[in-house]
Amino acid sequence: MKNIPVSALIGLFFTALYFLGAIFAPLLAPYGVGEVVGDVWEPASAEFLLGTDNIGRDLLTRMIYGGQTTIFIATAATVLSFTTGSILGFIAAEAGGWLDQAMSRFVDLIMSIPTLIFALVVLSVMPVTIPTLIVVMGLLDSTRVYRLARAVAVDIEVMDYVEAARLRGEKTTWIIFREILPNALSPLVAEMGLRFIFAVLFVSTLSFLGLGVQPPAADWGGIVKENKDGIVYGIPAALIPAFAIATLAISVNLVADWVLNRTTSLKGGRG
Amino acid sequence: MSPVFKLLAQRIALSLLLLLLISVVIFAGTMVLPGDVAQSILGQSATPEALANLRAELGVNDPPVQRYFAWLFGAIQGDLGTALTSGQDISEALASRFWNTLFLAFWAAVVAVPLAIFLGLLAVRFKDRWPDKLISGVTLASISIPEFLIGYVLMYLIAVKLRWFPSVAMINDNMSLFEKLNAIALPIAVLTLVVLAHMMRMTRAAILNVMQSAYIETAELKGLNAFQVIYRHAFPNAVAPIVNVVMLNLAYLVVGVVVIEVVFVYPGMGQYLVDHVSKRDVPVVQACGLIFAAVYIGLNMIADIVAILSNPRLRHPK
């Protein structure tokens, strides 16, 4: 653990900070999430550390609960996209033939529509709830994981140890989970950080557009939306959640970069 | 027929096929998904009669295949149907907004593309020194920052604090070009920042890749000066990747425009789309989705065509 570069340490510190804040939100938040405690857009004071929002709720409380929602949705969507994407990718690589062709061409098709546009099209007919958001984001993102997982698995699939496993009569599930998965894990884990950031940015963008998390629940994109009118009057409340999104994304990125460098240098590949 | 034309025809046909399939996906996505469209438009308190009327009006009772072809042939002839919420003709409403969106994206590209290529060259020239490191850092930051943050920070600092440009980008037909440009200066700046870092980084990679080739070394060894090496040897080989980078980012720009239009209240297609998604106006969403997808695919197609034309190796498929 001595060789962790400073940038990765900073990244780890802030990532941990945000995640802990999300987990212990009810303990940390000084007020209730929907509680109106002061005037509209009060400046920061000892009582309200970040000031109040557009209807007089404590902004720090909203930020803590908002972080919980944002991080929860992003994490769930990332987990979903990784499970579906990597398992389908491994199956495609292992099965080959028409199944591989059909799935890969379908993914090409979905990826040729911009993700945001596709999500908007789907959300126009689906009820906008947190589970819907997670499923839509997770499935749309799983196309990218699928491509990576398939590409990695195609290389592993021709290895001697996979051939050996096949010859000794192991079933497809064994080959996927015991032979391919452990060897494909490091590039997938490095990718996970990037997908997580993408999910955070994506859910924040949707909420900002008013099509993500619905009020009164708080989330970072939504807080920007609620307070954006203040900008014109010179009230920077909307910049605080946007700043939180940016710092979370940058710190996860720093960690992902470090993991990526470490795993590639272990293999001696792509420096 | 020469092989180049054959390749180009194939590429164009592929794009058209892709577009056709996407129209199926968009249509299926809005019509076949679980959930009653009529119910979500009218809300939970709708009476059964109102629901039945709206369903008949939407044509939900017809078989989906029939509805799809009616929609598709309409769309090809420029008839995108009417908006459910306002009863307005969609093609008419979209026409001016489409040009507004292109206007914004065009000027953002005019600023961003030369700047990105110039900075990319700068990064190659000063590889591994501070300008290069600075560019890497900015890239990392810019892919981590949501577009609306850049938008609001610029709005807060430049429009509200310094009062250099208006904070809201309202344009109309009566304004002169200069007035329009002044109005959209901030959105252009944000869009430029959004695509700049990425484009710069990819340009840098493309040129570095070419500069490390053996033939560049040969050219240097046979005594050509730096200008000739770049002009005669590096540039023709770097054109394809750079055009590719530019087109990919323009395609990204078309999507990024959606958020930026909402931030700056710009009367473009993105804002129209977002408005109607929240109103659950399905025909409008389908039309906008199709147009955005078509532009996106078109730009990707142009990138491929330029790559084919500029790279002799791609003209002769194995």
DSSP letter for each residue of chain A:
-TT--HHHHHHHHHHHHHHHHHHTHHHH-SS-TT-B-SSTTPPP-SSSTT-B-TTSBBHHHHHHHHHHHHHHHHHHHHHHHHHHHHHHHHHHHHH-HHHHHHHHHHHHHHHTS-HHHHHHHHHTTS---HHHHHHHHHHHHHHHHHHHHHHHHHHHHTSHHHHHHHHTT--HHHIIIIIIHHHHHHHHHHHHHHHHHHHHHHHHHHHHTTSSSPTTS--HHHHHHHHGGGGGGT-GGGHHHHHHHHHHHHHHHHHHHHHHHHHHHHHT---
Report CB contact under 8 Å: B33, A125. yes
Selected residues 22-41 of chain B with any CB under 8 Å from a CB in chain A? 22, 25-26, 29-31, 33, 35, 37, 40
Report CB contact under 8 Å: B29, A116. no
pLDDT of residue B256: 77
Report CB contact under 8 Å: A210, B155. no
Angle made by CA atoms A147, A153, A156, in degrees to the nearest 5: 150
| B210-243: pLDDT as tens digits | 777 888 888 888 888 777 777 778 777 777 777 7
**CA–CA dist B266, A210 (Å, integer):** 17
Min Cα distance A104 → chain B (Å) is 14
Report CB contact under 8 Å: B262, A209. yes
Averaged over B18-39, what is the pLDDT? Answer: 73
pTM comes to: 0.81
For residue A15, the surrounding DSSP H or E stretch is helix A6-23
**CA–CA dist B110, B250 (Å, integer):** 11
Indicate the length of chain A as a whole number: 271
Q: Are the CB atoms for B316 and A137 separated by under 8 Å?
A: no
Min Cα distance B317 → chain A (Å) is 21
B258 interfaces chain A, CB cutoff of 8 Å: yes
User: Does residue B30 surpass a pLDDT of 50?
Assistant: yes
Say which of B143, B251, B289 has its CB closest to residue A121. B289
Of residues B173 and B148, the one with the higher pLDDT is: B148
List per-block mean pLDDT (blocks of 10 residues) for chain A, which spans 271 residues.
73 84 74 67 66 71 83 91 90 84 85 83 80 88 88 84 86 84 80 85 85 78 78 74 83 80 52 32
Report CB contact under 8 Å: B273, A120. yes
Min Cα distance B97 → chain A (Å) is 17
Q: Which amino acid is at A256?
A: A
Distance of CA A271 to the CA centre of its chain: 26
- Written as six digits, the tokens of B169 are 């980008």
Mean pLDDT lowest among A101-105, A106-110, B122-126, B183-187: B122-126
pLDDT of residue A270: 37
Radius of gyration of chain A (CA): 22
User: Does residue B33 surpass a pLDDT of 60?
Assistant: no
Min Cα distance B22 → chain A (Å) is 7
| B280-318: pLDDT as tens digits | 777 788 888 888 888 888 888 887 887 777 766 666 654
What percent of chain B is modeled with pLDDT above 90?
0
- Chains A–B, number of C-beta pairs less than 8 Å apart: 148
Q: Which of B11, B18, B156, B279 should be substituted to probe chain A, the one whose Cβ sees the most A Cβ atoms within 10 Å?
A: B156
B262 interfaces chain A, CB cutoff of 8 Å: yes
Which chain A residues are closer than 8 Å to B40 by Cβ?
Answer: 125, 127
Among all residues of chain A, which has the CA nearest to that of B25?
Answer: A110
Selected residues 267-296 of chain B with any CB under 8 Å from a CB in chain A? 273-274, 276-278, 280-282, 285-286, 288-289, 292-293, 296
Hey, which residues does A52 pair with through a beta bridge?
A58
Categorize the per-residue pLDDT at B44 as very low, low, confident or very high, splitting at 50, 70 and 90: low
For residue B305, the surrounding DSSP H or E stretch is helix B282-310
Highest averaged pLDDT of the listed ranges A22-36, A156-170, B53-67, B245-259: A156-170
Average pLDDT, chain B: 76
